[in-house]
A and B are shown apart, each in its own frame.
Chain A
């Protein structure tokens, strides 16, 4: 498949930087974001003045009563543009849910259209003092009048309802979720900037932790943190002249809310039907199928999203993700395991939203994962948020279309790719991957 995305593999990630992830950073979020942005620009082999595009998604994802203050609790693209001290041509923010795929799409579109040559894409997340979601609401109007007086409020109840709906519908047990949090923390414990560095979680600890909103336990939730990640994207052609091996953006898709619901009411059927549509758009856009993805980094801000994404992407049949994870099929250290949380995810890094998924795709496909480098990492997908509201981006380590044309150079750096792949090889490798994993797969439509 060639995909219907005209800019397929024509843009690439050229560099990155990541701040330490802390419960509370010792410095204001804005300054941390500017420092991280400058590090990412330097990592890409560029000067700040060469970065002429700035994009982000600046949502402050809390139900709490905290004031939203630019540069303190969020860092908008305008704030960054003002403080970075450059003269960008294109500055934009993604407004929806699924900020990482949304912001990557802004960057890709700007580069492909020529609106900008080098785009800084970043995400800055803040953990305010006090309880993250607590809100001393006394009177409530607007949309929340339909839910808050009734006691339905905040993301815990939001995720608990479809999670329990899944358990009841498929006869799953919540103890099966232990494999998700344990896998995320195992991998996060290996990442030096992670909040959970050197702190893996045992299944016993997972099971012993308190329940917050049945069936959600404490370690089903990512921990709120201060942290910033930044990436530099540019055209595939320019990226080949920069220090690091490019990681090409092969396609993207964002979810589209289809059914009107009460605020934060995400019924399982909405998540899965919307998620199937998101996945279908992604595969059509990227010209890929689930069997061709070496590294499907699924979102895990709440652990049930891992089950939902596994099924939405077609990596396991509907209703079987709970067995899939409980059987060790997502153990990234196992030869037959599907590395869906090899970057630690949000559960293993802290509440960095979809950053850990995107970063793992970049590090593995660019050959920069260090001791965590995986042998097989040529095609990856980074998911964010819920399958129906969020989105996903597909990445490739090789510019397949260019390789087929034979006109462009291929990078030989990194262990993942000793020879240039052609589209035919991609298909063969994908089929081999299916056999190797023996993954039973639902039709992605």
Chain B
């Protein structure tokens, strides 16, 4: 997986004063964010039926167990683009210096219909098409906090 550090791509003086919203890990999500900090993408997996779930919750969306025992397990990070948008305004703080930026709707290779949304770090002019292969990347947004994103992968 690739680490793209925004501060390495843009002079820090252009960064806005307001930071991006940071995740507040809870008891359930803490392993996900701990893995993300190590640049490892994980997805919650049901201990009963072994299906992946995005997002996890009180029940498994596949076997409907009320005790799914979700555990975040590493995934390949490989997926394909199902849709995308280029945002020209952000309604959240901390993204203005990155505008315009692309969000991609990615179906992960691990399971049909398993979809994540993240920033595509190749820039707003990156050539995109349905089915374009991508792989996970990470943005280091604060000390010890990295947020999953994607980059275009070579086909095949």
Contacts and interface: CB of A to CB of B under 8 A. Distances in A.
A141 B22 CA distance: 9
A164 B85 contact: yes
Contacts of B130: 165, 168-169
B91 A146 contact: no
A139 B93 contact: no
Contacts of A164: 83-85
B23 A157 contact: no
Given A259-B113, A262-B116, A157 B21 contact: no
Contacts of B84: 161, 164
Contact of B118 (A150, A213, A263, A267): A150
Contacts of A115: none
A149 B55 contact: no
A214 B19 CA distance: 24
B15 to A, nearest CB: 15
B86 to A, nearest CB: 4
Given A137-B92, A161-B84, A213-B88, A150 B119 contact: yes
A267 B105 contact: yes
B3 to A, nearest CB: 16
Q: Is the interface of A mostly helix, strand, loop or mixed?
A: loop
Contacts of B151: none
Interface stretch (A128-136, A179-187, A229-237): A128-136
A261 B115 contact: yes
Interface in B47-82: 53-55, 57, 61, 82
A135 B130 CA distance: 31
B57 A260 contact: yes
Interface of B: 18-26, 29, 53-55, 57, 61, 82-93, 95, 98, 101, 103, 105, 113, 115-119, 129-130, 141, 147-149
Given A140-B24, A169-B130, A259-B61, 16 more contacts: A131-B91, A145-B25, A145-B29, A150-B148, A154-B91, A160-B87, A164-B83, A168-B130, A211-B86, A212-B87, A213-B87, A261-B115, A262-B54, A262-B116, A262-B117, A267-B83
5 contacts: A148-B92, A150-B149, A161-B84, A261-B54, A267-B105
